[in-house]
């Protein structure tokens, strides 16, 4: 165990823990978007940034490990400005209607969804190309989790990667092939880790469109038709 100071409060914490783990163990909530217990932390949403004494820039709590005597501010003015601005930029880029957690964070940080008038949004048409799930990248926050679980973090299927770069980045398949034409095995792991409803089970999507359960018919049960043994 070692001792760190979180928001002025001395905390004993396990060696090797990240600041995020140490804070959560101490009951201090640090917000995250890209972080997920099942995926490799990439420190890319930067919502978990904190101020560490002696470091010039804000540090991602999901990555930085505790060290003896470390002094950390999880809600300093700089931290709050960064979190609020990131959330405001996100709301100006992406459809967050299916992201209640992120909208709750926006309230908490007094982030305005209208902060950036005239901002170019990542409005892209929904992709409905397979019977299992739909892809609505207008809701995608580029957390990378789906790409990670499709690759080395879980499935080793490598059906998806990135198209474009920078603000124009989008999750994509090989030359935009429809999902059934890729290596996708429809394991559903990407849908399971998507934090914003950009990936959604087809059935859930159809129900939201107003279809009744009995109207949603699957073409095949997938079971082998056996001849009755007479």
Partner 1 sequence: MSEINLPALRNAISPYLPLGRSGLLPALHAAQAVCGWIPPEAAAEVARLLNVPLAEVHGVIEFYSLFYNEPVGRRITRVCTDVACALKGGDALLNGLCAQHGIRPGQTTLDGAVTIESAPCLGMCDLAPAVLTVDDGRWTVGDGKLRPRSPIYGLNRLLTARCGRGRQTTLAEYGGYEALRKALRMTPEQVVAEIKASGLVGRGGAAFPTGVKWEGAAKAEGSPKYVVCNTDESEPGTFKDRVLLMDDPHSVLEGMLIAGYAIGAARGYFYVRGEYAYMLPVLQAVFDSARKAGLLGENILNSGFSFEVEIRLGAGAYICGEETALFESIEGKRGFPRIKPPFPTTHGLFGKPTVINNVETMCNVPLILKMGAQAYRQIGTEKSTGPKLFCVSGDVARPGVYEVPFGVTLRELLAMAGGTDGGTEKETEKQIQAILFGGAAGTFATAEHLDVRLTFEDLRAAGLSLGSGVVMVFDHSRDLRKVLTKLGHFFAHESCGKCYPCQMGTQRQLEILERLAEGKSLPGDRERLQDVGWTMTDASLCGLGQTAASAVLSAMKLGLV
Interacting residues toward partner 1 by CB under 8 A: 33, 42-47, 49, 57-58, 60, 63, 78, 81-82, 84-86, 88-90, 92-93, 115-120, 142, 151, 158-169, 172-175, 182-183
How far apart are the C-alpha atoms of 150 and 147, rounded to whole Å? Answer: 5
Q: Are 115 and 90 in contact (CB under 8 A)?
A: no
Rounded to a whole number of angstroms, the minimum distance from the CB of residue 188 to partner 1 is: 18
- Residues in CB range of 76: below 8 A, 6 or more apart: 51
Cβ distance to partner 1 smaller for residue 42 or 130: 42
The nearer residue to partner 1, 22 or 49, going by C-beta atoms, is 49
Closer by beta carbon to partner 1, 113 or else 216 = 113
**Minimum CB distance to partner 1 smaller for 165 or for 227:** 165
Beta strands in the chain (DSSP E): 2-6, 9-13, 49-52, 59-60, 71-73, 133-135, 161-163, 170-172, 199-201
Q: DSSP per residue over 130-177, as a string?
A: SSSEEE-GGG-----HHHHHHTTTTT-----EEES-GGG-EEE-GGG-
Nearer residue to partner 1 within complex by CB, 110 or 211: 110
The CB-of-84 to partner 1 minimum distance in angstroms stands at 8
Please report how close the Cβ of residue 195 comes to partner 1 at its closest, in angstroms: 13
User: At its nearest, how many Å lie between partner 1 and the CB of residue 102?
Assistant: 12
**C-alpha to C-alpha distance for 69 and 78, rounded to whole angstroms:** 21
From first CA to last CA, the distance across the chain in angstroms is 70
Name the nearest CA neighbour of 157 among 190, 184, 189, 191: 184
């Amino acid at each position: 165990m070692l001792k760190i100071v979180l928001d002025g409060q001395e905390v004993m914490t396990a060696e090797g823990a990240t600041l995020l783990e140490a804070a959560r163990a101490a009951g201090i909530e640090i917000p995250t978007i890209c972080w997920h217990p099942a995926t490799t932390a990439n420190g890319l949403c930067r919502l978990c940034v904190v101020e560490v004494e002696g470091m010039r820039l804000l540090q991602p709590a999901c990555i930085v490990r505790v060290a003896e005597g470390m002094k950390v501010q999880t809600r300093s003015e700089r931290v709050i400005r960064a979190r609020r601005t990131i959330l405001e930029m996100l709301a100006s880029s992406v459809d967050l209607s299916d992201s209640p957690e992120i909208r709750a964070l926006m309230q908490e940080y007094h982030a305005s969804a209208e902060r950036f008038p005239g901002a170019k949004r990542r409005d892209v048409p929904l992709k409905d190309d397979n019977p299992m799930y739909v892809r609505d990248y207008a809701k995608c926050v580029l957390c990378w989790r789906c790409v990670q679980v499709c690759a080395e973090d879980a499935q080793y299927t490598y059906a998806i990667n990135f198209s474009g770069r920078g603000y124009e980045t989008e999750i994509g398949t090989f030359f935009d092939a429809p999902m059934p034409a890729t290596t996708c095995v429809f394991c559903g792991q990407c849908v399971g880790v998507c934090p914003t409803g950009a990936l959604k089970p087809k059935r859930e999507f159809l129900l939201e469109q107003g279809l009744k359960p009995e109207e949603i018919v699957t073409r095949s049960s997938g079971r082998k038709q056996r001849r009755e043994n007479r």
